[in-house]
Amino acid sequence: MNKKSIIICVSVIGVFLIIIAAALFFLYQDNDGSKTSMAEDREYMLLSAVPSDAGIVMKYGSLSSMLANLVSDTSPARYFVTAREEKDKMAAFLEDVSASSSLYSSLMSAQAVISVHDIGVLTPLLIIDAGRAGDGPSEAVAAMETAAGNAGLASAFEDASGYASSGSPLRKRSLLLLSPSDVLVEAALRHLKAGISVLDVPGVPEAVSKVSSSDIAVIPSSGVTRLGSDIFSRSCREEVRTAAGFADCVVFGIGQFSDSGFTMSGRAYSDGSLSNIIEMYQEVAPASSQVSSVLPSYTLFAVSVPVSDISQYTEAYLRYAQTRSLVKNVEASRASLAKSGGMQPSVWAEALAIREVAAAGFVSGGAVRKVLLARLGKVSAPVLFKGLDDVTADNCEGRIFPYRYKGFLSSLFGSRFALEDESFFMIHDGWLIAGSREALSEYTSGRALDYSLSEFMADAAVQDRLSQKNTYFVSYLSLTEDTGFISSVFSKSFMPAVLASSEGVTYEPVFFTVTEDKSGIGLEFSLDRTTVLKSQAPTFERDTAVVIPKGPFRVKNSGTGKWNLFYQQDNMYLCLQEEGGKGLWGVPFDAPICGCAQTVDYFANGKLQILFASGSKLHLIDRLGRFVNPFPVDLGKTILLGPDVYDFSGNRKYNVMILHTDNTIEMYNLQGRRPQQWKTITSAETIKGLPERIRVGGSSFWVVRTSIQTLIFGFYGGDPLTVFSGDRMIRPDSEVVPSGDNAVEVICYDGKKHTVKIK
């Protein structure tokens, strides 16, 4: 079994009723008052053997179905078995069972459940129907217990006839319990003998009865807190606590999973408590969401609440706030805002006939920019442009104005629609967009909607779930857009699973929606994994940040023949240490180095020195920490990234490639001189890194990646040899593969592979 935990990370978000987009929101299902006795239903009998403190329970109609689900790289259940080191025992065991299924053939059709419990760390418990009561362990059960012991698992075989309730089919069965923790197995047996199970948790039986699937994931409200605290960073803990109060229980059907992703549908149950936000949806009507058309293709996250009747919604939210003891804060906030804005937030919203409210974030200039968006039924100039002379609904389009209604949307729709900077706003195609000037400049410059998120999803063949009818809530998260933001959301222990989930794909969007369907109100969680081939060539530059590696840098020590690590401390000291071992030396330095360090044999005597750059100079330091003359060598202009070192002739006459802060690439020798034939490489767009050397037909060329495209230059620089426009531009992430004596194969924005002549 591959232990990457692919896709699990984000499916857990949906399963837990938590999806990140700097905000969490969801759920609803009607309560028809029915309650099925799950303990008396053979299909659900194993649930009565699961301890009541389970954070999540995954029930499978058969052990073979469970193994297929858990062994699959694209299974959401996979996280619970492999996300932490102590769970590797269970992962190894399941791998062995799956690989040797014939040995356990008599058990493959048996029911099985996996539950997760917080015993200081989240730990799984596996329970399998082990056959009729009174028969003792079968050969397959005995073999499985042996395999579990070899894997380091605790196990117990238990005859349930003595303590299961008289009406329960479990009374006629035996059980096999396995876990990495013997404490958890013993606790499970105590719960079983006491007749206490997860079916006693409020809402669980009712929620389970609403999903017609033999394989299900059950998440009680208490489980949201237990699991969410393990998965998300501390900055999201408040959202986790809030999410735990949205419903008593949620159940998802566990469907089929593939390398391209999955979709899970579910239902939620509430006992009617007005403090559950799902009850608020009973008082409002669903509406259409359309926000993807006004978000950039590079959106990181988005949450949206479509509104059928704005006054109906804000009144319902106020009643919800009252049950949560928030009404005083909400009313005080609205009163304060009415004073500063000149009108009540509710009056303002009704005057604009708001039809949808959204919050979103995207990466621009190396930072996450956040905006609020409101789709307006009416662009009311007296309301929006009060105090702004000569501004009307007809001439306001695309202009940035001071925003006097800061906090209005959050007072009406909740804290997820609050920004730290709501200083400015603009109107675009009937949408009010508020945020910082930097965020809005993405729209006024044309960059944001040069290629909208809806257009990008269409090119990626991904269903646009951000724009659909009959919606209460919809959320979106891109796991492949920016790992810096993602790492601020998830816990450190969970991040490896998140990173593994997006490995090998270029686009991995996650959606969570609450919509109305024929059966009432349903939940849907989906994840798509795809490599986007066809996309629209950008007109505007947006990705202007150049990543400067921090090190450590791997360098060869000529004295020992071993690899060392060269790095710079926060106090600017330069240090060398053995790879995986002790420090060798540290020497003072006075400026940051420029993201590279490589070894050269400067004196051509077999002794290696470390070449690096800082400011506008090249520096050389030997393996003992001594600076080497005649360095430093001043190159005459500030270095952004470099040096990359090349020995083109093989006689240790080195050349270096440097990216300067003026967006130029230059070639130098170690005396700081450019070759006579050299012509500066530059681009109208931001050059994102040092050039890559390729050999085609016996000659060398330079591949240069910009924020928009890939360019290819001759060995001595000058103008690019590949000058294309529109969809014929080479994608910045395209491989460049030599093809014949005079050409290379590349992927262009039209999604097709092209052969390009460069000689």
At 586, is the secondary structure helix, strand, or coil? strand
Cβ(596)–Cβ(547) under 8 Å? no
Q: What is the pLDDT of residues 548-596, one digit of tens each?
A: 999 999 999 998 899 999 999 999 999 999 988 889 999 999 999 999 9
For residue 368, pLDDT beyond 50: yes
Buried b (16+ CB within 10 A) or exposed e, 19-32: bbbbbbbbbbbbbe
pLDDT at 194 over 60: yes
Banded model confidence at residue 259, pLDDT cuts 50, 70, 90:
confident
- In 431-508 the beta strands, taken as DSSP E runs, fall at 431-435, 471-478
Question: Could you give phi then psi for residue 61, rounded to 5 degrees?
Answer: -65, -25
Cα–Cα dist 409/374, whole Å: 9
Instruction: Write the DSSP assignment of 420-440 as a string of letters.
Output: S---EEEEETTEEEEE-HHHH
pTM value is: 0.83
Cβ partners under 8 Å of residue 432, min gap 6: 352, 372, 373, 374, 376, 384, 425, 426
- DSSP characters for 255-277? ---BTTEEEEEEEEE--S-TTSH
Rounding to the nearest 10 degrees, give the CA dihedral for residues 206, 211, 216, 220: -30
- Please tell me which residue, 202 or 617, carries the higher pLDDT value: 617
Please check whether residue 360 is in contact with residue 434, taking contact to mean a CB–CB distance below 8 angstroms. Answer: no
Least confident interval from 64-68, 145-149, 237-241, 286-290: 237-241
Q: What is the mean pLDDT of residues 645-673?
A: 96
Task: Look up residue 61 and give its two tokens.
Answer: 């109609």
- Give the pLDDT mean for 518-546: 87
C-beta separation of 706 from 712 below 8 A: no
The confidence score (pLDDT) of residue 741 equals 80
Q: How much of the chain, in percent, has pLDDT values that exceed 90?
A: 58
Is the pLDDT reported for residue 756 higher than 90? yes
DSSP letter, residue 87? G
More confident residue, 459 or 225: 459
Say if residues 730 and 746 touch (Cβ distance below 8 Å). Answer: yes
Encode 220-230: b = buried (16+ Cβ within 10 Å), e = exposed: bbbbbbbbbbb
| CA 336 centroid distance within chain | 37
Helix (H, G, I), strand (E, B) or coil at 700: strand
Task: Examine the pLDDT at 18 and tell me if it is beyond 50.
Answer: no
Residue 269 confidence (pLDDT): 83
pLDDT value at 602 more than 90: yes
pLDDT at position 121? 80
**Cα–Cα distance for residue pair 183/117, rounded to 1 Å:** 11
Is residue 425 within 8 A of residue 374, CB to CB? The reply is no
**pLDDT the model gives residue 6:** 28
What confidence tier does 248 reach under pLDDT thresholds 50, 70, 90?
Answer: confident
Q: How sure is the predictor about 328, in pLDDT bands with cuts at 50, 70 and 90? A: low
Strands 583-587 and 574-578: antiparallel
Q: What is the mean pLDDT of residues 51-63?
A: 92
Residue 274 pLDDT class (50, 70, 90 cuts):
low
Three-class SS state of 499: helix
Strand 553-556 with 692-696, pairing: unpaired
- pLDDT score, position 36: 40
